Structure 1
Amino acid sequence: MLRESSERLSGNDRFEGFCIDLLNEIAEILKFNFVLIPIKAYGSRNAKTGEWNGMIKELLEDRGDMAVTDLTINFEREDAVDFTMPFMNLGISILYKKPQKMAPSLFSFLSPLSIEVWIYMITAYVGVSIVMYILARFSPYEWQNPHPCDPDPDTLENQFTILNCLWFAIGSLMQQGCDFLPQAVSTRMVAGMWWFFTLIMISSYTANLAAFLTVERMESPIGSAEDLAKQTKIKYGLKEGGTTSVFFRDSIIPTYKHMWDTMNRYKEMGENVFTGSNKEGATRVSKSNGLYAFFMESTTIEYVIERECDLTQVGGLLDSKSYGIALQPGSPYKGALDVAILTLQSRGRFHTLKEKWFRQKRGGGKCKEEAGGSSMASELNLPNVGGVFVVLIGGMGLALVVALGEFVLYCWEISREDEKSLISVLSEELVFVFQCKGSTKPVKKESETAAVDNMYGSDVYNCSGRNPLT
């Protein structure tokens, strides 16, 4: 790349970059001088004429001694020119628009558990309540004296009605307890197992809830080349005439062969998905709003995503290959260059140069800082917990409806017993309710005749109907 300078530069001073530093270090080891000649094309062979272009052509026509760039070693090039041993390993991967942050759901608090687990929990809650109810009715130890001061009661009471069993189970699940507890061994065993179950489930839910509410989650429509091949909404392309296109063109893997045919079909239809350079491909991905993916070498992707924060690498490597320095066929410099590359590798210079030019120079490292800041847990906003307020308001509204139903039913029973109109009883009760003072209320007394009839018609004076377990 051209050096950024306010002065007019000439010769080798015009250029800088990873390969320039690499060439300078090799020249320092082997003690030679060099002159840089910029060539745009890397070098590909025309399938019809068999002629080469770019840097490979310059070497074959003896206009250069070596080609130093991100030149991939492949069979075609190796057959035409010589290569030094590799100085960097890489593979083909996918450059794509960075996944968008998912908008928090109103009911985000339900996300820590799957729908299947929620259904099983509700089923377990109902099932345990029913089992508790049945066992409580079976066990004689759950039938208690409702009046402890009376040593010889006429009836026994079982506090585990079906509604109380449901209340006991939900109180345990909410870690709030209940105002009555089982007395029999069998019901205590059921309660103990239910408490253990709720302990594990609530602990797991609480631990997972923090991650779901505080960590921003990303959503990506594709995760691999196979995902791209299976859909038609997102188009994909590559640099025309490069080694990446050769890989897809000559591949015998059905997925990659299908993708190559698809890219050519788009081109025939007038929607050219091929580009003239990797930079053009990266620009197209950035502007396509997630509707275009670009195949390129992983090292180039790594360089791009350090500077373009809206782009990212998707999936793993489709193949494995390397960069090397191309030489004229039978070049006498190959052995010395191999030794120099091994020397630099043993000194860790390739890693140092990569850190310098990929993550420090020319805007590198900018996206790493942004990623580091966004990975921290964020504060909870209303969209994250809004569903809890909806549930609370809904529960209060339902409770109000039930209370009104209970109130109307109570007034209806009083009107029937006292032979009054329902409207008059409702008005009297409403007046008392809205006075909003006092915590006591007078008891409605039955008439004396009705009380005597009710007393002699009850089970207390009916010996044949007395049942200690009712």
Structure 2
Amino acid sequence: MATGIELLVAAALCVACPALNESLPANLIQVDSDNVPLPTEQPIDMEASDAGLDEDVPAETLETLINKKIKLREMRDWIGGKHLRIATLEDYPLSYTELLENGSRIGHGVSFQIIDFLKKKFNFTYEVYVPQDNIIGSPTDFDRSLIEMVNKSVVDLAAAFIPSLSEQRKFVYYSTTTLDEGEWIMVMQRPRESASGSGLLAPFEFWVWILILVSLLAVGPIIYVLIILRNRLTGDSNQQPYSLGHCAWFVYGALMKQGSTLSPIADSTRLLFATWWIFITILTSFYTANLTAFLTLSKFTLPYNTVNDILTKNKHFVSMRGGGVEYAIRTTNESLSMLNRMILNNYAVFSDETNDTFNLQNYVERNGYVFVRDRPAINIMLYQDYLYRKTISFSDEKIHCPFAMAKEPFLKKKRTFAYPIGSNLSQLFDPELLNLVESGIVKHLSAKDLPSAEICPQDLGGTERQLRNGDLMMTYYIMLAGFATSLAVFTTELLFRYVNSRQEANKWARHGVGRTPNGQSVAPSRWLRGWRRQDSGNRQLLGASTHGQNVTPPPPYQSIFSGNGHGDSLANRWRRPPIGNGNGVLLGGGASDSGVRRLINGRDYMVYRNSNGQSQLVPVRSPSAALFQYTYTE
């Protein structure tokens, strides 16, 4: 509340203030209550720069604005109380209809919320029509389509989110205001394993494994060639030139951390070996760390994320019949035209069913197809499916979300309303549509029935992960491959053994047993040695050993020099060589159990003759005697 002194001071200051300028600025265009410009005293032929216009703007601009305003006012007056015919598509939740008992239809969805706003704004009424085939239409698919109804002026307006396709522009007029940029997304069964890899192959991508295999095959021969080249250039005889097999097994053993028996002497060869060891150490460290990270906190990815994944992997997919995806594929100059051959090969299915839940269960859940649908419909469909499965299992997240949605859009197209060619409704409705889009109302209406949180995201976010058989499947494959390789090598060995024995048997059959073509004696095949006769009536079994039947072991070492071995003892089975040959000294107490001592290669031996007439050497020195005794007694 101002005091009296403050009021006196304010009044004095106001007296000193200059008078207010109530004149309007020059070149100002005034309008009336209907926003129609009022005529001004400013001449039309004034300078363009003085009027605030560019020199390139024609002089009739002001008259054009006036005529446009007058035309809009006349159209507002014309449409008031007018009854319009509006066509739409069954495209839940953006546009869909309800059939009443009297046969009329009521439009619902985002499109008709916009139409109802325009209805209140311009005071008109309307009735709803649906094309017989519920398709957008194209030059090759024109009959009973939405485009046909608009083109033939059967309806005044097409109220649906229609993708702006190039071939349809010559049949209809799209609104200048873009309602949104439609995104068609792929939804598929949620895989049990991430597409980034599974099990032992996950830490490295495909080309890393290829390069590791190439290095494993190439490093061994490279080391072998470098060693041979070094020895020839330097003439060094100390460094042993390892064979190619040894070098290859060294490379493989280093990869498996098994070490090697090779011990190079030359410095250059040592550096070659050390370089491979360092490479393997770093490689295995990276592999171990990445494998641990993948098996615990790996990021989940889908096997089909882009159009190229569908094309390269020949994956079956399904979409709406007569929708934007089908026409984008069938039209030559559209972005999806490279998928046209998939239609010819029956990899693409276009369903006439407008119920998205039916398509999801029939094609995706049962047959494993990829379902391509626009984002609002996908979000509503997955949310309703989530609410239903929540009643089946309250806590299991994998049951709640059996489907996953790709991140990358399959197709992106601007979507608008459509008018007949030559219609003036676009000039009346498009400014209002632009206000709704720029204010975010259209986007809000498309997502108002969805929760703020993302429903069934691609990565469910679980940090606990137990190893499954799929993670260890590569281990099983390696074991099976190893056993199969061993079996193949074993079979090859048996085959070569059989072939060699057949060749040897044929040689014996042609030239006689034990004789070659030149008459010399040859040893029989090992397969046939067991068939030789031992005497007139007995045969030796194939593969049977003759050791222990004809060979008599020598007597115990301590009994050789005892001198009391007579009778049927084991020592009596050994006879002394003939006396008088002058080649040795008789030892022992008797003639029957003594042997001849001989010096052979600087060592002392007792020479005995066994029952078969073969000579047997018995070492005399203590260490050799102990080994001899252990060999024949243990």
- Please give the TM-score of this superposition, normalised by the length of structure 2: 0.41
Counterpart for residue 155 of structure 1: none
Check conservation: 1:80, 1:329, Cα contact below 8 A: yes
- 2:204 is the alignment partner of 1:117: no
1:131-210 equivalences in 2 (<5 Å): 184-210=266-292
Change (3 A) 1:192 1:27: same
One-letter amino acid of the structure 2 residue matched with residue 117 of structure 1: I
Change (3 A) 1:381 1:127: farther
Counterpart for residue 365 of structure 1: 454
Counterpart for residue 69 of structure 1: 160
- 2:367 is the alignment partner of 1:289: yes
Post-superposition offset of 1:121: 1.9
Cα separation, 1, equivalents of 2:265 and 2:313: 62
Check conservation: 2:185, 2:373, Cα contact below 8 A: yes
Post-superposition offset of 1:205: 3.0
Counterpart for residue 466 of structure 1: none
Check conservation: 2:199, 2:472, Cα contact below 8 A: yes
Post-superposition offset of 1:167: 8.9
1:19-38 equivalences in 2 (<5 Å): 19=111, 31=121
Instruction: Map Cα deviations across residues 162-204 of structure 1 (whole Å, 9 max, x no partner).
Output: 7998898677656798899866533443344334433443344
Cα separation, 1, equivalents of 2:321 and 2:187: 16
Cα separation, 2, equivalents of 1:139 and 1:448: 51
Check conservation: 1:298, 1:317, Cα contact below 8 A: no
Instruction: Map Cα deviations across residues 377-432 of structure 1 (whole Å, 9 max, x no partner).
Output: 7343465357669989x99xx9xxxxxxxxxxxxxxxx9xxx998xxxxxxxxxxx
Cα separation, 2, equivalents of 1:250 and 1:331: 27
**Greater helix percent: which structure?**
1
- 2:364 is the alignment partner of 1:277: no
Check conservation: 1:229, 1:258, Cα contact below 8 A: no
Check conservation: 2:319, 2:350, Cα contact below 8 A: yes
Check conservation: 1:70, 1:323, Cα contact below 8 A: yes
Change (3 A) 1:100 1:379: closer
Check conservation: 2:436, 2:442, Cα contact below 8 A: yes
Post-superposition offset of 1:88: 1.3
Cα separation, 2, equivalents of 1:372 and 1:283: 21
Cα separation, 2, equivalents of 1:390 and 1:283: 34
Structure 1 counterpart SS, 2:459: helix
Task: Identify unmatched segments of 5+ residues in structure 2.
Answer: 1-91, 94-105, 386-401, 487-546, 554-596, 605-634
Structure 2 counterpart SS, 1:325: strand
Check conservation: 1:109, 1:385, Cα contact below 8 A: no
Cα separation, 2, equivalents of 1:94 and 1:227: 10
Check conservation: 1:213, 1:380, Cα contact below 8 A: yes
One-letter amino acid of the structure 2 residue matched with residue 120 of structure 1: S
Structure 1 counterpart SS, 2:216: helix
Check conservation: 2:137, 2:145, Cα contact below 8 A: yes
Counterpart for residue 310 of structure 1: 403
Identity %: 19
Counterpart for residue 325 of structure 1: 417
Check conservation: 2:187, 2:405, Cα contact below 8 A: yes
Post-superposition offset of 1:275: 1.4
Cα separation, 2, equivalents of 1:256 and 1:172: 48
Check conservation: 2:304, 2:406, Cα contact below 8 A: no
Cα separation, 2, equivalents of 1:217 and 1:450: 80
Change (3 A) 1:198 1:348: same
Instruction: Map Cα deviations across residues 93-114 of structure 1 (whole Å, 9 max, x no partner).
Output: 7665555637997865897652
1:391-470 equivalences in 2 (<5 Å): 452-453=602-603
**Greater strand percent: which structure?**
2
Change (3 A) 1:228 1:67: same
Post-superposition offset of 1:321: 3.3
Change (3 A) 1:129 1:356: farther
Change (3 A) 1:140 1:288: same
Counterpart for residue 427 of structure 2: 335
Check conservation: 2:163, 2:414, Cα contact below 8 A: yes
Instruction: Map Cα deviations across residues 435-470 of structure 1 (whole Å, 9 max, x no partner).
Output: xxxxxxxxxxxx99678459xxxxxxxxxxxxxxxx
Cα separation, 2, equivalents of 1:194 and 1:53: 69
**Which of 153, 177, 187 is the aligned partner of 1:85?**
177
Check conservation: 2:216, 2:252, Cα contact below 8 A: no
Structure 2 counterpart SS, 1:70: strand
One-letter amino acid of the structure 2 residue matched with residue 209 of structure 1: L
Cα separation, 1, equivalents of 2:351 and 2:274: 67
Task: Identify unmatched segments of 5+ residues in structure 1.
Answer: 3-13, 144-157, 267-271, 399-414, 422-446, 455-470
One-letter amino acid of the structure 1 residue matched with residue 363 of structure 2: V
Post-superposition offset of 1:78: 6.6
Structure 2 counterpart SS, 1:380: coil
Cα separation, 2, equivalents of 1:77 and 1:132: 74
Change (3 A) 1:182 1:226: closer
Counterpart for residue 7 of structure 2: none
Structure 1 counterpart SS, 2:215: helix
One-letter amino acid of the structure 2 residue matched with residue 118 of structure 1: L
Cα separation, 2, equivalents of 1:109 and 1:256: 30
Change (3 A) 1:360 1:327: farther
Change (3 A) 1:420 1:245: same
Instruction: Map Cα deviations across residues 296-355 of structure 1 (whole Å, 9 max, x no partner).
Output: 55664565566665264598646x532213346655553354333433444444554445
RMSD of aligned Cα (Å): 6.1
Cα separation, 2, equivalents of 1:243 and 1:166: 59
Cα separation, 1, equivalents of 2:141 and 2:445: 39
Structure 1 counterpart SS, 2:160: coil
Cα separation, 1, equivalents of 2:416 and 2:147: 13
Check conservation: 1:92, 1:295, Cα contact below 8 A: yes
Change (3 A) 1:66 1:122: same
Cα separation, 2, equivalents of 1:259 and 1:37: 40
One-letter amino acid of the structure 2 residue matched with residue 365 of structure 1: E
One-letter amino acid of the structure 1 residue matched with residue 272 of structure 2: V
Check conservation: 2:376, 2:446, Cα contact below 8 A: no
Cα separation, 2, equivalents of 1:116 and 1:80: 57
Cα separation, 2, equivalents of 1:165 and 1:19: 74
Bigger Rg, which one: 2
Cα separation, 2, equivalents of 1:329 and 1:224: 34
- The number of aligned residues is 366
Change (3 A) 1:449 1:168: farther
